[in-house]
A and B are shown apart, each in its own frame.
Chain A
């Protein structure tokens, strides 16, 4: 497909709720995504608990590219392209560690934690001291931190993180707020799950943006008592007797979205952890504190969402998934799991075991998602298949400017129950950035 020709093709039609299969399989479009989306948008790269001390670093990823997230000797955060300015070698091949410098193993150019080029072998006899060290530091991205989450962006013209998040910012702030809305932060459980998914990177991002419709995928796990509620079901909240109204919130300007559950007044949030006394007690306290701080709004319990383009968050089973592009047909998923920093050890342990058995490639729930996305992708590659767009029109035209409570939408549009509003918003933003809308 020729990029110049893009506008003439109906790749995304938000008015009819149609999305062409081309955008999942076409290599030219994929290359354009790396330039127009991954090189311009803010991308989640890590969490402060990974880089607490000066010199701490982790290798992260932006688009297809390896980057280094480093806290420098003075405590400032940096994100560098993990590639030597001399001839491109990765300056760091370790997943994490603490370092005072990054020495390239190819010819020995050495960078400090601020990315400055310091030592260069044969600087005098080889370069006749004519190499301007100050001009050849590591390529650096913009960095921003929001409640412990760390983001980076390559494009100087993109608004700052908080403006870029726009009204969806409250979802990120709430996600990174500990359940009792009190002391401490979320803390990353050590170890980031990384795995390969044979499908386009947008499948996961889209699913987490608002696919409340795919419950049938998880019919097998709903028969088990997977959650700490002690009752059949995979979510801790499945056991809550009062039934909520699902809320989908889409932010038209940014493509971000959130999902949550609005419970009737006076609901008993605590029954969600009844099988585990320590968890039950912790969340009882947490909910009381939450209610005290948020009042009525505590009844709206976030479930998760997607920050455009590739960061999804899940509340409850507190985790973040990054859907890294790795070619049009391959996604590399990274999943980070969190627990409240100052929760009792027994609580942290139960939460850790719950998230591991729920999510990721070994999680009883997510195993089935991967199968569906894999085969959906594969079945969309064919010549005939590509002529037929995906249908995303559920609820089209019924979006509400405000939900049943005035504070729910807060800058977005709302749909209750099952809907594909959030996915339409996601692909509208995709099409705008790609220049095809």
Chain B
């Protein structure tokens, strides 16, 4: 096989690996294997979900609040994410007691750039939550992730969760995206 074909094949395998990482991750969250999910995050992970504003289409710079500066839904590292997992495991975190049933549907996975030490991977998601008897919540958005290859496999090094909502239509964000 010639050189370019090998490169194309290698890229295809990486794209597949990234996709499988995202599906496995979603499965861990939906099965509530939160500790195993934490293990997939790099120790220096940045997890960010900005607020979204209604702004003129000709002035898009103001649409998202800025990481590390403004208010966000989430703007944190592994320490706070680990706190959230600990809280879920206390048995007295009433917003998740009894636990929600969640379904993360991940699609449109694209390996945008795999030339550096971290791969840039974009995906879309629909997050469905069912709670108590009939409570039903839906969030939609996309994610811009940085996946870092390590000897143990891929690790999530950065996630930007970009939801499509201006006024959040659900009462709380007790789940991971």
A: residues with CB less than 8 A from B are 93-97, 189-198, 217, 219-221, 223-226, 332, 337, 349, 352-353, 356-357, 360-362, 364, 366-368, 370-372, 374-375
With a cutoff of 8 Å between Cβ atoms, the chain B residues found around residue A375 in the complex are: 132
- Contacts A371-B95, A372-B94 known; A93 to B54 CB distance under 8 Å? yes
Within 8 A of A (CB), among B72-108: 72-76, 80, 83-84, 86-87, 90-95
Complexed CA–CA distance, A95 and B56 (Å): 9
The A/B interface has a contact count, at CB < 8 Å, of 121
Q: Are B71 and A195 within 8 A (Cβ)?
A: no
Cβ of B8 under 8 Å from chain A: no
Cβ of B70 under 8 Å from chain A: yes
**8 residue pairs bridging A and B, Cβ less than 8 Å apart:** A95-B55, A97-B59, A225-B83, A349-B68, A356-B74, A356-B76, A361-B73, A362-B74
With a cutoff of 8 Å between Cβ atoms, the chain B residues found around residue A198 in the complex are: 171
Complexed CA–CA distance, A368 and B88 (Å): 11
Instruction: Count residues of B near A (Cβ-Cβ below 8 Å).
Output: 41
Complexed CA–CA distance, A225 and B86 (Å): 11
| Stretch of B9-17, B27-35, B162-170 that contacts chain A | B162-170
Q: Are B92 and A97 within 8 A (Cβ)?
A: no
With a cutoff of 8 Å between Cβ atoms, the chain B residues found around residue A95 in the complex are: 53-55, 166
How far does the Cβ of A124 sit from chain B's closest Cβ, in whole Å?
A: 31
With a cutoff of 8 Å between Cβ atoms, the chain B residues found around residue A366 in the complex are: 172
Cβ of B124 under 8 Å from chain A: no
Name B87's closest neighbour in chain A (CB-CB).
A220
Interface readout for B111-140 with A: 1 if CB under 8 Å, 0 if not? 000000000000000000000100000000
With a cutoff of 8 Å between Cβ atoms, the chain A residues found around residue B69 in the complex are: 190
Q: Are A196 and B169 within 8 A (Cβ)?
A: yes
Complexed CA–CA distance, A364 and B55 (Å): 30
Q: Are B172 and A371 within 8 A (Cβ)?
A: yes
Name B168's closest neighbour in chain A (CB-CB).
A195
Complexed CA–CA distance, A219 and B94 (Å): 9
Q: Are A97 and B55 within 8 A (Cβ)?
A: yes
Of A195, A220, A357, A374, which one neighbours B90 at CB under 8 angstroms? A220
Complexed CA–CA distance, A220 and B84 (Å): 10
Q: Are B95 and A370 within 8 A (Cβ)?
A: yes
Complexed CA–CA distance, A197 and B95 (Å): 13
Name B90's closest neighbour in chain A (CB-CB).
A220
Cβ of B173 under 8 Å from chain A: yes
With a cutoff of 8 Å between Cβ atoms, the chain B residues found around residue A93 in the complex are: 54
Complexed CA–CA distance, A349 and B76 (Å): 12
Q: Are B168 and A196 within 8 A (Cβ)?
A: yes
Name A375's closest neighbour in chain B (CB-CB).
B132
With a cutoff of 8 Å between Cβ atoms, the chain A residues found around residue B92 in the complex are: 219-220
How far does the Cβ of A213 sit from chain B's closest Cβ, in whole Å?
A: 15
Q: Are B95 and A190 within 8 A (Cβ)?
A: no
Name B171's closest neighbour in chain A (CB-CB).
A370
Complexed CA–CA distance, A356 and B50 (Å): 11
Of B56, B72, B173, which one neighbours A367 at CB under 8 angstroms? B173
Interface readout for B24-67 with A: 1 if CB under 8 Å, 0 if not? 00000000000000000000000001110111100100100110
Q: Are B171 and A361 within 8 A (Cβ)?
A: yes
